[in-house]
Homo-oligomer: A and B are copies of this chain.
Amino acid sequence: MDLSPKVQSNSNGTTILPPKETSLESNGHEMKGSYRTNLARNENMEKLQNHYLFPEITFRVVEHLKKYPDAKIISLGIGDTTQPVPEIVASEMANYAGGLATPEGYSGYGAEQGNMNLRKKIAEKLYKNLGVKNTEVFVADGAQCDISRIQMLLGSNVSIAVQDPSFPAYIDSGVIIGQSGDLDHKSGRYKNIEYMTCDAENGFFPDFSKIRRTDVIFFCNPNNPTGHAASRKQLEQLVEFATKNGSLIVYDAAYFVYIADDSPRSIYEIPGAKKVAIEVASFSKIAGFTGVRLGWTVVPEELLYSNGSQVIKDYDRIVCTCFNGASKIAQSGGLACLSDEGYKAILSTVNYYHENAKILTDTFTSLGFNVHGGINAPYVYVHFPGKKSWDVFNHILEKTHVVTVPGSGFGPGGEEYIRVSAFGKRENILEASERFKRVYL
């Protein structure tokens, strides 16, 4: 093969350097003396913060285990479900999967948008009386994936706002797609992203009088990590703010089933929301589908771009081009989740996690901490005034072998907090509570 360097032109006619054998080692990723392509690294990828939350936690736990090989680690960190899926759901999936070996049971590609029976059931059961049409429901493999697809839909030329703190995927996918601008290392914030502070001072709900107008508002409700579920009045403010500004709300309702009081479970409970909001949701935290992978996104027909065209048409195109449908096995399970028996079983598991949250809340409260969340969410959000989140995380891990999540991992607004997941098994929640008491009492 001819590997001799030649001066090339790129697609714009600019002269570019030929591939070369590198001998530089300006950063840890470089491989000395190796052939390099002439492919420039996507500059958006360069803007991502180096440490990302959950792998960083995993790394620290691994280091901890090197130090304490016999430690009985309890993970109340990543929000991973631990309770089995309802029998009726598992057996439906087992039947579907087993049937794939038979001529009658076999089927290939489904619609990219999902099985119409499931779309219909989601619209009927979860958006009852809210006027959501079957065809406005797009079934997919989970909320995180749908958020990225929404980012592909939106593209790089939109401005975004996020709750601070919130689930990192909104910002990270925004950085990757090119919406963020550079990171300001001092504040830990990206320059072009509007951070909507949610702290104890404002009741964990943004003060919109202080928020700059953006094209898009990512809004996670109940919020991860704070556990706060907005009241009807608050969501009315959100919809009003978006409507006034002509902003799109990307409403992440992944934890809606945990809302125990009369707060709205869907943004579409707010009049006018269908004109301004997309809603993303998931079976993961509802039915223990974190490993099964199933979710959905609602894009209302009424939602229009500034040029008057429908967002749903473009989203459909994204789904058909960038996705090929959720696993039909998972979809059969989703349908079973929404049967009367399935949903009853789901609510019983949700109740179990609610009880866990109460145990954790009572524990930290008894130890004198200010505790938030836990009532309408599977997360308990604990304040450690004046402390750095990562220091608290390290201290708790060191002293109790319990894994939590530092609030600052969800944005600079999460500093001084830790998030404790109620998704554990009961015995671990109780054991962790005992360990917390030993350290903090």
Contacts and interface: CB of A to CB of B under 8 A. Distances in A.
A432 B57 CA distance: 58
Nearest to A29: B309
Given A31-B304, A78-B109, A1 B239 contact: yes
A136 interface: no
A333 to B, nearest CB: 7
Contacts of A84: 100-103, 105-106
A18 interface: yes
Contacts of A328: 291-293
A234 interface: no
Interface string A136-159: 000001101100100011111111
A98 interface: yes
Contact of A327 (B38, B154, B245, B327): B327
Contacts of A293: 141, 324-328
A55 B317 CA distance: 10
A24 B306 CA distance: 12
Interface stretch (A6-14, A353-361, A370-378, A392-400): A6-14
Most buried by B among A40, A292, A306: A306
A318 interface: yes
Interface string A37-49: 1111111110010
Interface stretch (A62-70, A117-125, A213-221, A379-387): A213-221
Interface stretch (A86-94, A198-206, A255-263, A401-409): A86-94
Interface stretch (A126-134, A172-180, A225-233, A412-420): A172-180
A264 interface: no
Interface string A70-92: 00000000101111111101110
Interface in A16-32: 17-19, 22, 24, 26-27, 29-31
A192 B11 CA distance: 7
Given A10-B215, A36-B305, A304-B34, A85 B106 contact: yes
A93 B101 CA distance: 11
Contact of A176 (B10, B152, B244, B271): B152
B321 A108 contact: no
A11 B246 contact: no
B327 A141 contact: yes
Contact of A37 (B11, B94, B155, B306): B306
20 contacts: A8-B245, A30-B307, A37-B247, A38-B306, A82-B106, A90-B99, A91-B98, A107-B291, A108-B290, A108-B291, A109-B290, A144-B321, A144-B324, A148-B323, A169-B321, A173-B322, A292-B327, A293-B326, A327-B327, A329-B330
Interface of A: 1-3, 6, 8-12, 17-19, 22, 24, 26-27, 29-31, 34-45, 48, 52, 54-55, 78, 80-87, 89-91, 93-103, 105-110, 141-142, 144-145, 148, 152-159, 169, 172-173, 176-178, 192, 194, 212-216, 236, 239-240, 243-248, 271-272, 275-276, 288, 290-293, 301-311, 313-314, 317-318, 320-330, 333
Given A94-B95, A100-B292, 17 more contacts: A1-B243, A8-B246, A9-B213, A29-B308, A30-B309, A35-B275, A36-B246, A41-B309, A42-B155, A45-B155, A93-B100, A144-B323, A145-B324, A148-B323, A292-B328, A292-B329, A327-B327
